[in-house]
Structure 1
Amino acid sequence: MTHPTAQFTAEQTATALPYAALAKAIEALLRDPSVSVPPRTVMPLPGGGSLFVMPATDARVAITKLISFVADNASRGLPSIQGDIVVFDAVTGQRRALLDGPTVTARRTAAVSLLAAQKLAPRTDGPLLIVGAGVQGRSHLEAFAEGLGVREFWVHSRSASSANALVAHAQSLGLQARRVDAADAAQAHCPLVVSTTSAQQVALRGTPRDDAFIAAVGAFTPRMMEWAPEVCRDLLARGMGVVDTRDADHEAGDLLQADIDVSALPTLADVIAAPREVRGPVFFKSCGWAGWDLAAARLVSSAA
C-alpha cells in the first residue's frame, strides 16, 4: 500500500515543532542507541556558498536533509538557507513527509541551545543578549521565551533595522526588548548570550560575566568565527566549554581558531548522560548535526 507524502509548508512545519517539545525530543534522541548519523557532506558551490547533504536514521524514521547555505543572500533579498528535509519510514523505505528545511534548521538549532541552557545555564532569568537579528536570532528569542520563561531581551545587529524588527517582534509577543548598539558592553548586564551572526568576522570581543551562559551558533565551519580567540580561551579558563556533538572537533571555528583542543570538551550527550556541576561561565558551541533534524522528524511523525 502506497502512503501519500505529507508536504509541510514553512508555517505548517513551524506549528508541528514547538520549541519546548522539540528540546525534549532532542534529549530523547540523545538517549536512543538506535540513532545513526554519518558525517555530513559539504560541497562548495561556484558562487561561494555550500551544499549540505545530511542523512540520519533510527529504528523507525530515516531522513535526508538537503540544503544550501549562501552567507550573502540577504543582499539578494533571499534567505541564507534553502532546501528540504525528506522523511522516510526506516522499515519500508517509503517517503512519508517533506519538511521545510530552513524552518526545521531554525527551530531545531534554537531548541538545541534551549536544551543546553536548561542543563547548564547558571542563571535563566535573563536578560538574554542576542547578537545577530536574522532568522536564528528570532528563533532563539522565541525558544528562550517559551522554554525558559525569559521575558527581557537585548538585541544587537550590524543592521539597526534588523535589530529594530526583532525588538518589535519580541514586543508583539508581550516581551520586553530593546536594541543595543554595543554588544560587548551589554554582556556585563546579560547572564544569557546567544550569537547568531553570519560569522564572517569576529563580532564579540568583550568579557562575559562569571555567571554567563553563551550559545555560540553562527560559526559552523573551521573558517567561520564570531568570538575573538582570546575571549574563547579566557572563557574556558574561567569556566567550562561544551560542544553539541563530536563533529564540532573539526567544525567549531571559534574554538579551533583559538587553538583549543575541542576533542577534550564534553558534548551535550555527555552532559545529559552525566550532569556536570557548573562553575563559572559556560560556552556552548553549536555547529549543527543531522541528528537534530531527525529529532524534528520524529516529533512530526509521532504527532501524525
Structure 2
Amino acid sequence: MNAITSTSSIFSDAEEFVVLSRELTAKALDYSELVDTIAAAALEYNAGQIQSPERMVVPLGAGGVMLSMPATARDIGIHKLVNVQPANKKRQLPIIHGTVTVCDTETGKLICLLDGPEVTGRRTAAVTMLAIRTLLKKVPREVLLIGTGVQARYHIQALYALYPQSKVWVRGRSETSSMAFCDQYRSLHSKLVPAEHSISDDVNVVITVTTSTQVVYNETALRDRLIIGVGAFKPDMAELGKITLDGSDIFADDPVGAHHEAGDLIQADIDWSRVRSLADVLQGQIDESHPKVFKSVGTGAWDLAAARVALKAIHAGH
C-alpha cells in the first residue's frame, strides 16, 4: 500500500476492527519501513497534505497529563491519546499508557487500534535513524547514547536494525546505571559499551534521550559529529547547550512544535529563523560543511506514518 492508497481497498465492510497488542504492534512496525514511510510523510506534511495540529495537553490526576494528537491525510486519519503519569514509577507501573486509533479517510470507518507507547517509541527512534541517514549520509562509526530510559531502549533496537556494525557507547546518570543498561540490553545490540566522561574521537553521532532539566551535552560543534536531541520535550527541559547550538546548523522534525516544546532551543534563546525542517533536509537544502544539530519533538504526522506501516503489515498477513 503506498502513501495515498485508500484503505477501503484493503479492509472491506465485512472485516472487523483490528486490535493489535503491544507485542503485535511492535511486530508490525519494522524500523526500515518506518524510516522510509516517515520520510515520505515529512514531505507530505511540509506540502500541507497531512494535517497535524499541535497536541492538546490536559491535566490528569496529580501531576499527570493527557495528550491528544490527531492527524489526517488523504488515505487515513489517526488519533493518538496518551496518558502520562510520572507517579506510576513509585507504584511500579508504566508511566505511559495510550492508544492510536486509525480510520479510513474516505468513509470514516475505524480500522484498527495500535498500542500508543509502542508506536511512540518506535517512530521516535525511526525519526532519529532518518536524521542519521540524511544528515550524516554514512554508517556511524561510533554512537554516544546519553540516557538509559525507555527511549534509549528503542534507539538501541533501531540502531541494531539499521546499523548493527556501529559501536554504541551508553552514558547514564552514573557508571552503575550505564553498566546495568548495557548488561540488560546487550542481547538487543552486542556492541554496547558503558561510556566514560570523555568522548571518543571516533564518535560521529551523539543522541540524547533524557528527561533532564540541565544540559547534558555542550561540546564545541564539530563538522563530522551529528548531534540529535530527543528527550527535552518541554520548555523546562534541556539536553543540548548553547555552545553546541550556536556553532551548528539546526534542524527540527517539526519546527512549529519546537517553538513550544524544545526546551534546549528555547533556553538557549536561539534565532528561530535558523531552524529548518526535516523536509528541507530530505530535499537536500543543507550545507555539508557545517556542524549539524537535529532536534526531535514529534508530531502526529509521524504516528500517521507508523499507522501506514502497521496497515501494510496487517494487509500482508491477510
1:6 equivalent among 5, 11, 18? 18
Distance 1:147 1:39 in 2: 30
For residues 125-144 of structure 1, what are the structure 2 equivalents within 5 Å? 125-144=140-159
Partner of 2:289: 279
Q: Does 1:242 align with 2:251?
A: yes
In structure 2, do the counterparts of structure 1 residues 261 and 43 end up closer, same or farther at CA, with 3 Å as the change threshold?
farther
Distance change >3 Å, CA 91–CA 122, structure 1 → 2: closer
Aligned equivalent of 1:168, options 180, 183, 200: 183
The normalised TM-score by structure 1 is: 0.90
Identity, in percent, stands at 37
Structure 1 residue 241: Cα displacement: 0.9
| Aligned partner of residue 172 in structure 1, secondary structure | coil
Paired letter, 2:239 = E
1:45 and 2:60 equivalent?
yes
Report the TM-score when normalising by structure 2. Answer: 0.86
Match for residue 18 of structure 1? 30
Q: Choose from 73, 98, 102 the match for 1:58.
A: 73
2:264 is aligned to: 254
DSSP 3-state at the match of 2:106: coil
Task: Show CA shifts across 1:146-179 (max 9, x none).
Answer: 2234431110111555433431355324521211
Deviations 1:119-150 (A, max 9, x none): 00165333111111111111112212222344
- Are 2:277 and 1:267 equivalent residues in the alignment? yes
Q: Which amino acid aligns with 1:130?
A: L
**Higher alpha-carbon deviation: 100-109 or 152-161:** 152-161
Judge which range, 7-16 or 122-131, deviates more: 122-131
Gaps in structure 1 of 5+ consecutive residues: none
1:117 lines up with 2:132 in the alignment: yes
Structure 2: gaps (5+ residues): 1-12
What is the one-letter code of the residue matched to 2:225?
A
Find the counterpart in structure 2 of residue 196 from structure 1.
209
Change (3 A) 1:174 1:226: closer
Root-mean-square deviation over aligned CA pairs: 2.1
3-state secondary structure, aligned to 1:42: strand
Residue pair 2:83, 2:97 contacting (<8 A) in 1 also:
yes
Structure 1 residues 287 and 83, CA gap change in structure 2 (3 angstroms): same
Structure 1 segments, 4+ long, off by >6 Å, are none
Paired residue for 2:242? 229
